[in-house]
Amino acid sequence: MEKLTASRQYDQALTKCRDAMKDSALKPFEADLRLWEQNIQACGRVLERARAGAKGLVGRQSDFEIKKGDKGRMHIPGEVEKFENDALFVRMGGKVMEIPFDQLGPNEVSRLAAEGGSESPRDRLDRAVLLFYEGLENDALKLLREVKDGDAATLASAEAIQKLVEDGAERRKRQAKEQRATELVSKVKADYDAKLWQNVLDGIAQLRKDYSDTESVKKSASDLDEKQKVAAERVKMVVFSRDHKRLTLLLADGVKMEFVLIPPGSFMMGEASASAMPVHRVTITRPFYIGIYEVTQSQWRAVVGKDKSWTKGGGDLPAMNLSWDDCYSFLSRLGERIGGGLTCRLATEAEWEYACRAGSRGAYCFGDDERLLGDYAWYDMNNVTHNAHRPVGTRKPNMWGLYDMHGNVWEWCSDWYGAYSDSPQKDPAGPSSGVARVLRGGHFVATSTSCTSGNRKWMQPQVADYCNGFRVVSTVPSRGDGVWRFLLCRQA
């Protein structure tokens, strides 16, 4: 649409219109071109009246709106000293500012035109046309609705232009709504691919509430239905306690995985054995969730679909006979199902020992008295006749509520095995490469020294051993990660 408040723009538009009238190919549109010409001429009349209004302001105080760039506006208050050479000269304090007429904003031109003498309904109609061509549809409609008197031609023109303005505004409104709907549909698809399930549900709810009549939503209806169904199932899997110190994953009917939040802190890592020296201070800087129990056979089956244990048995027995690679296959599948920004992984060796110790300093989570180990662990002294793993959670937990951190099954950690002397003091994660991964905690027929908080074992990641299992860790997203809101999606 032409902008017509500047004289050069008016002249260019009028020339363009009249050239179009001479084009025989545009003959079918002659009526539209005539209307265009009439509207341009109406804008020209407004410009002339605005100039007259500007001259009438000489010696008076006023406030002028001028254009700054394509969209910017600024106001200049002051006393009008003169109007010459198509420019206003306005005194602001001790300074005179020249304002070229072409720099005045459309509302300012309209205001000056209204002050250019008594205004007829036709004059008001002309101003409405100019504001319409400048894209100020609401201001144009306001003026058009004020054209109540005048001859029949004026009233008919006002009615026709009002319909044109309203139709254009409604069309742009629909286009803007369609564009927003298209963007929201794309965002829902991106959130679905990123497994941000709560965002998917929120986006679909907004689309159906505010944009159900758009083509984008109608065309995507079946796809949105399917995505909503999947997202709703995934969101139901994740339940946080109100204080967020507990996390529960609902894996299947009657099968859940429970976590406790471990706070950040520092501890003395290692012990006086060849592989676990030197004892050194380590700081864990971020909280993390860790499984209260070792991963069980029922949990393994719920995620993987089949058993991988050395001995079959009850669902509360720990999954075992697992390689490090097996564990990460499980974690990958679990993460795919949960999504939402929560990561599923193994504990780092430092995280594991920090969680095991739970603030203790001795050989075990309860201190140094080996005679108490049988209360907390299944190991050789209380399990030799059974000679097999036991159901999880049947011994005492440590001070942070974690069961079987000593005994039952060795637990894989994420780290490559390496000497402590090469590790950083903050959030160590092991060497960047290696040939063996770390295991911790001992197992159901291990000696008491194998079950200490600081003892280490290593094994090649592709090797599955009958007494190896694991527990799951989930990283806590920070507020800056963009997924913190997911933590609030479902509370117990």
Whole-prediction pTM value? 0.63
Per-residue pLDDT tens digits for 427-439: 999 999 999 999 9
Half-sphere exposure of 205 (CA within 13 A, CB side): 8
Residue 107 near residue 139, CB atoms below 8 Å: yes
Residue 210 near residue 184, CB atoms below 8 Å: no
User: Does the structure show a pLDDT above 50 at 338?
Assistant: yes
pLDDT at 481: 43
DSSP 426: B
Per-residue pLDDT tens digits for 174-202: 888 999 999 999 999 998 888 788 889 99
pLDDT at 94: 79
Closest CA to 312 of 386, 408, 384, 389: 389
Mean pLDDT score, 301-320: 79
Q: Token digits for 472?
A: 């799951």
Per-residue pLDDT tens digits for 447-483: 999 999 999 999 999 999 989 999 999 987 655 444 4
Q: Which helix (H) or strand (E) holds 222?
A: helix 221-237
Is residue 318 very low, low, confident or very high in pLDDT (cuts 50, 70, 90)?
A: very high
Q: Which helix (H) or strand (E) holds 280?
A: strand 280-284
Q: In what order do the strands lie in the sheet with 246-252?
A: 238-240, 246-252, 255-262, 288-291, 473-475, 343-345
Q: In what order do the strands lie in the sheet with 410-416?
A: 457-459, 437-440, 410-416, 468-469
Is residue 166 very low, low, confident or very high in pLDDT (cuts 50, 70, 90)?
A: low
Tokens 């504001």 locate to: 131
| Residue ranges of domains in the chain, CATH in brackets | 7-150 (no CATH), 179-235 (no CATH), 241-488 (3.90.1580.10)
How many angstroms separate the CA atoms of 109 and 104, rounded? 6
The contacts of residue 44 (CB under 8 Å, 6+ apart) are: 10, 14
Residue 26 near residue 33, CB atoms below 8 Å: yes
Neighbours of 149 (CB within 10 A): 10
Per-residue pLDDT tens digits for 238-253: 888 888 899 999 998 8
How many angstroms separate the CA atoms of 114 and 306, rounded? 83
Helix axes 152-193, 197-210, angle to 10 degrees: 160
- CA distance readout (Å), 389 to 366, 392, 467: 22, 9, 8
pLDDT at 302: 92
